[in-house]
Amino acid sequence: MRRNIFVILFLIFLAGAGLFALMPIEKKIQVRMLPSNYRRLNRFVVAMSKVESGNYSSSNYKNLNSIFNIKNANNRNQPGAQLGNSDFRYYSYKMLSLEDLLSWFDYTKFPVRVSDVRQFVQELKARNYFEEPEGFYLEKMNLYVNP
């Protein structure tokens, strides 16, 4: 509890000082994850953000502010909006994409800790987060978790 208060105060300080806006996206993710139940997944979520956004260069990242390529869902409330006929969610700012991922973690009862990147990828696959073969996604994750 005490740590969460410190983290919240730190985030308020960063926002007030305008420093949060200047941080690279992976640092913003790390800071935002600290007060989350999923803070132990931090390095996996950062790696996942790089995989899903093409290392922050994909068109969905640039045009939809989508860090994680989350599709529009019919069965849960999501932040952001559906944009035209796009299957992917649009966010007014990039960190809203992280909020959507954390909401999805809650919705799917994603574990708050995993033993390694393989288990993280298995948990994503078990919840149908990605369609490609598990080994292929694991390979990509390993590029960023274990460079």
Give the pLDDT confidence score for residue 146 in this predicted structure: 76
- Taken in order 125, 140, 78, 38, the sign of the CA dihedral is positive
Strand partners, 89: 82
- The yes-or-no verdict on residue 125 having pLDDT over 90 is yes
Backbone angles phi, psi at 82, to 5 degrees: -85, 130
* pLDDT band per the 50, 70, 90 thresholds, residue 43: very high
Give the pLDDT confidence score for residue 13 in this predicted structure: 64
Portion of the chain with pLDDT greater than 70, in percent = 84
SS (H, E, C) 65-102: CCCCCCECCCCCCCCCEECCCCCEEECCCCHHHHHHHH
Give the pLDDT confidence score for residue 53 in this predicted structure: 96
Strand partners, 34: none
Counting Cα atoms < 13 Å in the Cβ hemisphere of 7 gives 13
What does the alpha-carbon distance between residue 83 and residue 125 come to, in Å, rounded to a whole number? 26
What is the mean pLDDT of the segment spanning 3-8? 64
Backbone angles phi, psi at 90, to 5 degrees: -105, 140
**Model pTM score:** 0.84
What is the mean pLDDT of the segment spanning 93-116? 95
- The yes-or-no verdict on residue 17 having pLDDT over 80 is no
What does the alpha-carbon distance between residue 28 and residue 23 come to, in Å, rounded to a whole number? 6
Give the pLDDT confidence score for residue 131 in this predicted structure: 93
